[in-house]
């Protein structure tokens, strides 16, 4: 990881910015070659790249602001000037709109021009992800013990794991995937018998959707609906549209069938059924020791996400303490993750005040809550021995309720969750 390449007096060259510039330069070369191959003037390249940069960066930032509205409102200037927070699909949409305006203003054939651009999108994305890897801008994957897993201690944003924790290098995976897509598109564009206009863009959209949909299963982005992330829903929409488009082009049917089979295979392999695996995380306890959720496999986990300033959280804590004592020693563990930004001492004082004996973890970044899609406090997740989320309680509960206690005991003893996913029934 090299967030800063060098300092030259007051000038600082950041690795992400350098890779972004390199991505646009390389993309411009590919676009120019594509335009010439289609009998169009290469002189349009600089304007296309300029408008792609303006629209892409603007769209990327806009979607990032929408996704993290509360953080933007709290610190708008620092958020906008941050080196992190660029969302690819926002950039793709913004860049497409800006470049399309230029194409129509100049009276150029839209389909021919976007086909010339398509390979450059894959190449630019591959290079850009190298910048993400060097900078550590928060788009790494989940916790991993694989030999190539790495840590990002010098990340420009979001790294708050304990020493020794490693994660999937998701930017590397994406860079490799988009490099392969670039090669596929380049070869397809150089066929002796050319494809119909629009084919390369549609193929790019389909293949890139498959790639992003796949890598999101190990990214740490929050799940929105049906266990899928925002990026996966974008991928599904764009991949479906690209499939329909390619099916209209007879020469694309073989490529469509192959890519669609890949998309379906990934979807079937990764999409959960009635239950989904809990997102893994590592957080520190009040003694500074790292606690990993996946290390609790084999036990039923009661995961509560809360904050000391939250009145409903304070209200349910005594009942949680009683539940923890009732079920202790029965392959059961209670983890309460505080998302206070006041530091461990604030949480330590709270624990002392309420005389809590179960493990309390601190996560001032709110990363655990984002992984589980939490938007308010408290929320509680019941996780079975295999690591699947079987229930989600939104808001406080009376954990002394004999029915709730018996339901959790049944899960511990028999592996069956006899209530609904929202804890009712």
- Rounded Cα distance between 99 and 94, Å, is 9
391 or 81, greater pLDDT: 391
Q: Kindly list the distances between the CA atom of residue 252 and the CA atoms of 197, 231, 248, 388, in Å, as whole numbers in the listed order.
A: 11, 25, 8, 40
Q: Which two tokens stand for residue 130?
A: 């190298």
Is-contact 363 339, C-beta < 8 A? yes
64 or 50, greater pLDDT: 50
Q: Does residue 196 have a cis peptide bond before it, meaning omega lies within 30 degrees of 0? A: no
Query: What confidence tens digit (pLDDT) does each residue in 113-152 have?
Result: 999 999 999 999 999 899 888 888 777 887 777 889 888 8
Which residue, 186, 220, 190, is CA-closest to 204? 186
Q: Which residues contact 156 (CB under 8 A, 6 or more apart)?
A: 3, 16, 82, 83, 84, 135, 136, 137
DSSP 241-304: HHHHHHHTSGGGHHHHHHHHHHHHHHHHHHS-SSSEEPPP-EEEETTS-EEEGGGGTTSEEEEE
Query: What confidence tens digit (pLDDT) does each residue in 322-347 have?
Result: 999 999 876 899 999 999 988 889 99
Residue 89, beta-bridge partner list: none
Q: Under DSSP, is residue 411 helix (H, G, I), strand (E, B) or coil?
A: helix
Both ends of the chain: CA-CA distance in Å?
50
Q: Under DSSP, is residue 219 helix (H, G, I), strand (E, B) or coil?
A: strand
Rounded mean pLDDT, 187-212: 88
Cα dihedral 69/71/73/74 (nearest 10): 160
Which residue, 59, 43, 60, is CA-closest to 102? 43
Query: What confidence tens digit (pLDDT) does each residue in 141-155 have?
Result: 877 778 898 888 888
Question: What pLDDT is attached to residue 77?
Answer: 66
Question: What pLDDT is attached to residue 269?
Answer: 46
Question: What pLDDT is attached to residue 69?
Answer: 64
- Please state the pTM of the whole predicted model: 0.64
Identify the residue whose tokens are 């990327």. Answer: 60
Question: What pLDDT is attached to residue 146?
Answer: 82
pLDDT band at 274 (very low <50, low <70, confident <90, very high): very low
Rounded mean pLDDT, 383-409: 90
- Rounded Cα distance between 76 and 131, Å, is 24
Q: Which domains does the chain have, with CATH numbers?
A: 4-271 (no CATH), 277-414 (3.40.30.10)
Question: What pLDDT is attached to residue 271?
Answer: 45
Query: What confidence tens digit (pLDDT) does each residue in 410-420 have?
Result: 999 888 888 87
């Amino acid at each position: 990881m090299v967030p800063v390449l060098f300092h030259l007096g007051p000038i600082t060259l950041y690795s992400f910015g350098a890779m972004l510039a390199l991505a646009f330069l390389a993309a411009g070369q590919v676009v120019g070659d594509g335009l010439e191959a289609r009998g169009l003037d290469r002189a349009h390249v600089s304007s296309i790249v300029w408008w792609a940069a303006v629209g892409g960066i603007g769209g990327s930032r806009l979607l990032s602001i929408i996704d993290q509205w509360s953080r933007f409102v709290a610190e708008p200037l620092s958020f906008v000037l941050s080196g992190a927070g660029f969302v690819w699909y926002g950039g793709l949409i913004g860049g497409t709109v800006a470049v399309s305006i230029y194409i129509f203003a100049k009276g150029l054939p839209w389909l021919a021009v976007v086909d010339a651009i398509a390979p450059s999108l894959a190449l630019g994305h591959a290079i850009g992800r190298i910048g993400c890897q060097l900078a550590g801008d928060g788009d790494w994957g989940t916790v991993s013990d694989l030999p190539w897993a790495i840590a990002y201690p010098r990340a420009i944003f979001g790294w708050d794991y304990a020493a020794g924790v490693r994660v999937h290098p998701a930017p590397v995976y994406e860079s490799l995937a988009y490099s392969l897509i670039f090669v596929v598109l380049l070869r397809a564009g150089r066929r002796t018998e050319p494809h119909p206009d629009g084919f390369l863009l549609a193929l790019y959209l389909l293949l890139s959707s498959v790639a992003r949909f796949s890598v999101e299963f190990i990214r740490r982005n929050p799940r929105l609906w049906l266990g899928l992330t925002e990026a996966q829903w974008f991928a599904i929409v764009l991949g479906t549209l690209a499939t329909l488009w390619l099916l209209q082009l007879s020469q694309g049917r073989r490529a469509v069938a192959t890519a669609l089979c890949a998309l379906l295979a990934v979807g079937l392999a990764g999409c959960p059924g009635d239950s989904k695996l809990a997102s893994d995380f590592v957080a520190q306890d009040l003694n500074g020791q790292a606690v990993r959720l996946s290390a609790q496999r084999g036990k039923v986990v009661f995961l509560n996400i809360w904050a000391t300033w939250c009145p409903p959280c304070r209200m349910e804590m005594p009942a949680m303490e009683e539940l923890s004592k009732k079920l202790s020693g029965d392959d059961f563990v209670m983890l309460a993750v505080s998302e206070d930004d006041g530091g461990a001492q604030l949480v330590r004082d709270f624990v002392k005040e309420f005389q809590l004996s179960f493990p309390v973890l601190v996560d001032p970044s709110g990363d655990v809550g984002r992984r589980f899609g939490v938007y308010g406090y408290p929320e509680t997740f019941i996780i079975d021995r295999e690591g699947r989320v079987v229930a989600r309680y939104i808001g406080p509960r009376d954990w002394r309720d004999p029915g709730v206690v018996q339901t959790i005991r049944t899960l511990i003893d028999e592996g069956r969750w006899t209530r609904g996913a929202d804890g009712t029934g």
